[in-house]
Structure 1
């Protein structure tokens, strides 16, 4: 035994040295940040992600996008996620027990930071199923937040300054949906005038503690994609652009088009962020005011302080992600 003792100690030292050199879970974040230094958490601020048009049971690129959402959430120390609608394809969910809650949501977005709140808007495909089931799921899930078809959240940024986040329901304002109530269930039961009054009442809040105003809806005001010249885009622009401009809304986050676009009209205050590439893709293009447009799988990430909003376009590749565009809005 005495002769073996030095070898035993040497064996332990080798094993300890080897183990120390291996990558451990708590080293993952530092490694990721080092490799992707072009996206960083904000000091004295908050961070959130925006995704849309995603619920396809993991098909197309949904799983890859979900993977990278978790990585970015970790880098930014994310506070919440925004879904811009079309949460379940092709025809929404039928109840709070619908298996799609697992196959298209719970079993896909599994990173622990993706269990922070999801503020969820409704898309047209969601109207083909039970909207009430998506509202009711808010009572079951600790992260799914859709208390009504449209709602407000006031989120503290830093030192008593707030983001006013309005999630609206654009679907009842689209003419062709209202003409097809057999497909878009309950669409004609919605009081659009009441919603418009609510939106304007909320945005008219001039409390100096509110330093940013962001509105989330499904349909874009502008698009260079498939629906560039379609009436539903014109309907949305005609109704909502004057309101967002009147109340000096900083950003409008939307989807519907299956791509990633950022548009800032030269004579308008609001910047539109279209994040609809959570799964299936569709060709896109640019129009006047387009800062960015690509039909690639991915999502958008945002950091927000009292003085600056930074937006990152994230492309999901087979094994990793890439920041392919970034811009900012300053106060």
Structure 2
């Protein structure tokens, strides 16, 4: 990853959640922050801003600790908020806190304890996320629009589709002509092309472990790529073109997808 980052001269890194396994951080002084982040991503090319979202495993620990400015004082690369926007000029990245959408974490937590501070009343919290996202997308003038969340919307992997996001988030993405939804959660690399819109679903959840063989059949007209091993992805953008690449753990390119948009000029 560091080698590829150097070749591409990357501007920043995005983490799709589950930042600390298995149960998040215990606090801002948890040594896991160093063991799983600061002391791991040491390559010169990776000394750039890291934009993070919270995953369900992060909520099993002290989720608020990951949002604390104290961590950024420890490592200035670390940027983590619940839902926020990163303006990269030709592209905007809309980060969404997806974990509170999943009903099962509330109704059937399976002996896990979740840090739901600042989430309740849940219905209002979710409504605010959706309304703010919809408004921000409508106001955006960026050439490319990315929405980043931890949970899948469409996936053939272990967790399959997240029905709550299909019902509540997907219509907003489609209505506002979002180009890409990028997620983690499933421990695989995956590219699904929507059959009814230009929306592309990109799963990058192979940064640590992978679930080999855990894949469900998907329409091959939509499934552009699936890899049940470790790896990561890159995005290169210009005003008129986006280039997506998926790499295995050795940095070998396994899948490339390129798209372009017309540029219009008025005089």
Common fold by TM > 0.5: yes
The 8 Å contact of residues 181 and 201 in structure 2, kept in 1 or not, is answered as yes
The 8 Å contact of residues 285 and 294 in structure 1, kept in 2 or not, is answered as no
Q: Does 1:265 align with 2:194?
A: yes
Structure of greater Rg = 1
Structure 2 matches for 1:19-98, cutoff 5 A?
Answer: 69-98=1-30
Task: Select which of 236, 243, 263 maps to 1:310.
Answer: 243
Q: Please state whether the residue corresponding to 1:204 is helix, strand or coil.
A: helix
Task: Select which of 165, 176, 179 maps to 2:104.
Answer: 176
The 8 Å contact of residues 259 and 284 in structure 1, kept in 2 or not, is answered as no
Q: Does 1:329 align with 2:259?
A: yes
Q: Please state whether the residue corresponding to 2:252 is helix, strand or coil.
A: strand
Q: Residue 201 of structure 1: CA displacement?
A: 1.2
Q: In 1, Cα distance between the equivalents of 2:79 and 2:24?
A: 16
Structure 1 match to 2:224: 291
Q: Which runs of 4+ in 1 moved over 4 A?
A: none
The 8 Å contact of residues 147 and 180 in structure 2, kept in 1 or not, is answered as yes
Task: Select which of 195, 199, 205 maps to 2:139.
Answer: 205
Q: In 2, Cα distance between the equivalents of 1:328 and 1:285?
A: 26
Q: In 2, Cα distance between the equivalents of 1:141 and 1:204?
A: 34
Q: Residue 255 of structure 1: CA displacement?
A: 0.8
Q: Does 1:102 align with 2:34?
A: yes
Aligned residues: 249
Looking at both structures, which has the greater relative contact order when contacts are Cα pairs under 8 Å and sequence separation is at least 6? 1
Q: In 2, Cα distance between the equivalents of 1:175 and 1:142?
A: 34
The 8 Å contact of residues 92 and 127 in structure 1, kept in 2 or not, is answered as yes
Q: Does 1:223 align with 2:155?
A: yes
The 8 Å contact of residues 138 and 144 in structure 1, kept in 2 or not, is answered as yes
Structure 2 matches for 1:216-255, cutoff 5 A?
Answer: 216-228=148-160, 233-255=162-184
Structure 2 match to 1:55: none
Q: Please state whether the residue corresponding to 2:244 is helix, strand or coil.
A: strand
> So what's the TM-score if we normalise by structure 1?
0.72
Q: Does 1:127 align with 2:66?
A: no
The 8 Å contact of residues 223 and 286 in structure 1, kept in 2 or not, is answered as no
Q: Per the alignment, do residues 109 and 286 of structure 1 end up closer, same or farther by CA in structure 2, a change over 3 Å counting?
A: farther
Q: Does 1:144 align with 2:73?
A: no
> So what's the TM-score if we normalise by structure 2?
0.89
Q: In 1, Cα distance between the equivalents of 2:175 and 2:193?
A: 16
Q: Residue 134 of structure 1: CA displacement?
A: 0.5
Q: Residue 139 of structure 1: CA displacement?
A: 4.5
Q: In 2, Cα distance between the equivalents of 1:73 and 1:304?
A: 15
The 8 Å contact of residues 220 and 237 in structure 1, kept in 2 or not, is answered as no
The 8 Å contact of residues 38 and 75 in structure 2, kept in 1 or not, is answered as no
Q: Residue 177 of structure 1: CA displacement?
A: 1.1
